């Protein structure tokens, strides 16, 4: 069995709800499209380069401490607006 070194973590911009996020990559990573942004969860398409090819990656971040916070729990009965 051979060990493979993990690429360094690349920081991404915080979401509108100030969720910190990152992705491991040897190259710079850019947010291509923000798909969902809630107080405790975000989903986005990221653009990066690997082996000379431009790729898109699906990325999700879940903040469990925020999800269980009383403020967020009080907001859960109301639906967040969605894009059609």
Please tell me the total count of domains within the chain.
Answer: 1
Its domain, for residue 19, covers 9-75
- The answer as to whether 15 is a domain residue is yes
Q: What is the pLDDT of residues 50-79, one digit of tens each?
A: 888 899 999 999 999 999 999 988 988 877
The structure's pTM equals 0.76
**Per-residue pLDDT reduced to its tens digit, 6-47:** 889 999 999 999 999 999 988 899 999 999 998 999 999 999
Is residue 3 assigned to a domain? no
> Can you give the three-state secondary structure of the chain, one letter per residue?
CCCCCCCCEEEECCCCCCCCEEEECCCCCEEEEEEEECCCEEEEEEEEEECCEEEEEEEEEECHHHHCCHHHHHHCCCCCCCCC
């Amino acid at each position: 069995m051979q060990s493979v070194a993990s690429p360094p973590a690349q920081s991404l911009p915080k979401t509108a709800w100030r969720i910190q996020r990152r992705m491991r990559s040897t190259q710079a990573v850019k947010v291509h499209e923000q798909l969902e942004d809630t107080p405790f969860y975000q989903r986005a398409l990221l653009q990066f380069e690997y082996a000379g090819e431009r790729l898109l990656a699906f990325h999700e971040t879940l903040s469990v401490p925020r999800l269980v916070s009383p403020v967020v729990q009080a907001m859960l009965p109301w639906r967040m607006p969605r894009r059609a």
